[in-house]
Structure 1
Amino acid sequence: MAHYKKILIAVDLSDESDLVAQRARAVAEGGDNELHVIHVIEPLSFAYGVDIPMDFSGLQDEIQTQARQQLQRFGAKHGIDESHQHIVLGRPEVEIHAAAEEIEADLIVVGSHGRYGLALLMGSTANGVLHGAKRDVLAVRVGD
C-alpha cells in the first residue's frame, strides 16, 4: 500500500478536532510525510445574506485573530509546524479542496458527525469535501 506523503487535516477547532488530528497522525505514523492543518472561517455575510446593512469587518477581523491563536495552539499540541497551518475565509468544502490542491495533498482528513436523513441532505462539511474530491478523504467519526 502506498503511503501518504502530504496530509491535510481540516478542523473546526472544536474539542473534536483533537480526534481528527490523532487519526491523521496515526495514518502518518512511521512515514516520511508532511502534516498540514486548515481551518476555514465562513464570512459573516454567508450566514446573514449578501445585503447586510451593517459593517461586520471589525467582528470578522476579531474572529480571524481568535481563530489564528487557536490554530497556533492546536498546531503546537499536535506537532504541526506553523508554516503548515492555514486559515482561510470562504466556504469550507471549496477552500479545503483548494488548499489540498495547492499543497498537493494525497489525503484530506476531516471530522464527520455521521449525519443521515434530513441532516445529510442539508449538507455538512465532510459530505461537501467527500463529493468532488480529487484525492483520498478520511472521514473520522466524531460526536455522539
Structure 2
Amino acid sequence: MSNYKKILVAVDLSDESQIVAKKAQAIADGGSAQLDVIHVIEPLSFAYGVDIPMDFSGLQEEIQTQATQQLTRFAEQNGISATHQHVVLGRPEVEIHAMAEQIGADLIVVGSHGRYGLALLMGSTANGVLHGATCDVLAVRVGD
C-alpha cells in the first residue's frame, strides 16, 4: 500500500511514456492517490538560441496545440481527467518542480534512459528532476 496522495507523472509523449504512466498508475491504485500528468515543451529559442532574428511564435503555437492534443489522448488512455493534465512551456526540470509544488505532489514519476558518464552530465531530465525535487522521485527505466 502506498502512502502517496498526489503523484505527478512527467512524460515526453514518446511510446515509452506508457511505461512510465503504467508504473505511476500502479502506485496510485495501491493507495488511491490522485494522478496528474505534465508534458513540458521547451521553447524553440532554447534550442536555436535567442539571437536568431526569426519569429517562432506561429511554430511554437502549433507545437503547443499538437502537444495538448497528444497529451489529451494519452491522458484519456490512462484514465487521467482533463483537470489533471498540464502542458507547460519552459525547461523540463524547472517546470516539473514548479508543478509538483503547485499541486502538492508527494511523488514525481519520470522516465529515465539510464544514461551515465558524459550523456548524464550533458543533461538528463530525470537527473535534473531528481536533484531539485522537494518530494520523492521515481525514475522508471525506459528505452535502451
Work out whether the TM-score is over 0.5. yes
Cα offset for 1:25?
0.6
Q: Find the aligned partners of 1:81 and 1:19 in 2 and give their Cα distance.
A: 19
In the alignment, which residue of structure 2 is the partner of 1:74?
74
In the alignment, which residue of structure 2 is the partner of 1:11?
11
Q: Find the aligned partners of 2:83 and 2:3 in 1 and give their Cα distance.
A: 22
SS state at 1:37 partner: strand
Cα offset for 1:104?
0.1
1:58 matched to 2:65: no
Give per-residue Cα distances to partners, 1:45-95, cap 9 Å, x unaligned. Answer: 000111121101000000000000000000000000010000000000000
Q: Find the aligned partners of 1:113 and 1:32 in 2 and give their Cα distance.
A: 28
In the alignment, which residue of structure 2 is the partner of 1:127?
127
**Change over 3 Å in CA distance of 1:23–1:13 after alignment to 2:** same
Q: Find the aligned partners of 2:106 and 2:5 in 1 and give their Cα distance.
A: 6
Cα offset for 1:128?
0.4
Q: Find the aligned partners of 1:6 and 1:35 in 2 and give their Cα distance.
A: 6
Counting aligned pairs with the same residue, the percent is: 79
- Amino acid of the residue matched to residue 95 of structure 1? E
Give per-residue Cα distances to partners, 1:11-42, cap 9 Å, x unaligned. Answer: 00000000000000111123222100000000
SS state at 1:14 partner: coil
For the aligned residue pairs, the C-alpha RMSD in angstroms reads 1.0
Q: Find the aligned partners of 2:115 and 2:69 in 1 and give their Cα distance.
A: 30
SS state at 2:27 partner: helix
Uncovered stretches (5+) of structure 2, i.e. residues with no partner = none
Cα offset for 1:2?
5.6
- Amino acid of the residue matched to residue 130 of structure 2? L
Q: Find the aligned partners of 1:49 and 1:56 in 2 and give their Cα distance.
A: 11
Cα offset for 1:132?
1.6
1:1-144 superposed matches below 5 A: 3-144=3-144
Cα offset for 1:137?
0.1
Q: Find the aligned partners of 1:83 and 1:38 in 2 and give their Cα distance.
A: 11
SS state at 2:31 partner: coil
Q: TM-score, normalised by structure 2?
A: 0.97
Q: Find the aligned partners of 2:126 and 2:83 in 1 and give their Cα distance.
A: 24
Q: Find the aligned partners of 1:79 and 1:42 in 2 and give their Cα distance.
A: 26
